[in-house]
Amino acid sequence: MIWRFFLLLCLLLPAVSVAVETPRGYYSQLEFLSQGQRLSFGPFVGYYFRPENGADLTRLTFRCYNERQFYTDQLPADELLFEGEALLSSLPQVRALPRSEARIEPVFFAAAPPQWLQVRPAPQEEFVHFHSAYDFSGPSYTGYWLRHQPVRSFIYNMGGRVGEESLLYHQAVLDEPQRFPHIIEFDAGPTGR
């Protein structure tokens, strides 16, 4: 009878998926003050952030994992996809913040005010993703410009949820950060916060 239990256990173990453990020294969510405003950043599926210098949150390193195959269905769940850096920045308030029922409202570069694109850190051709912080009322103009360095090549297809017609779909190529979608994301924060 016990051998049946162990046989069943051996058959089931490979199917059990364990979530990515937060890498040592990294955080899935950050909270900070910016211009007198208390802001939060994260959590996002598979992203983990670490300040480069102690408690200074203006410059971060990050890792992005394929948690639950959220970003690609070509690689196993929980594989490391990107490493990179994130630099704190505030977008000029040249237009109202987009509001949406969804947590994240994207603005692709073609629809973004030029003033937003001009505040990208150098090298600008590599910092092509901005993700806003949020407060109790929703997204903020303050957030991080991210530079994604792929650690392997794969098709970024949101786990098979988007196809070639999507602006998110792209071929991630080892050490080519400019291929990441050119996008500004306004984050209202997780529901139930």
Q: With a cut of 80, say whether residue 10 has pLDDT above it.
A: no
Least confident of 13-17, 62-66, 139-143: 13-17
CA dist 65 and 47 (Å) reads: 6
Q: With a cut of 50, say whether residue 125 has pLDDT above it.
A: yes
Residue 136's pLDDT band (boundaries 50, 70, 90)? very high
- Structure confidence at residue 84 (pLDDT): 96
Residue 22's pLDDT band (boundaries 50, 70, 90)? confident
Q: With a cut of 50, say whether residue 164 has pLDDT above it.
A: yes
Q: Which amino acid is at 69?
A: Q
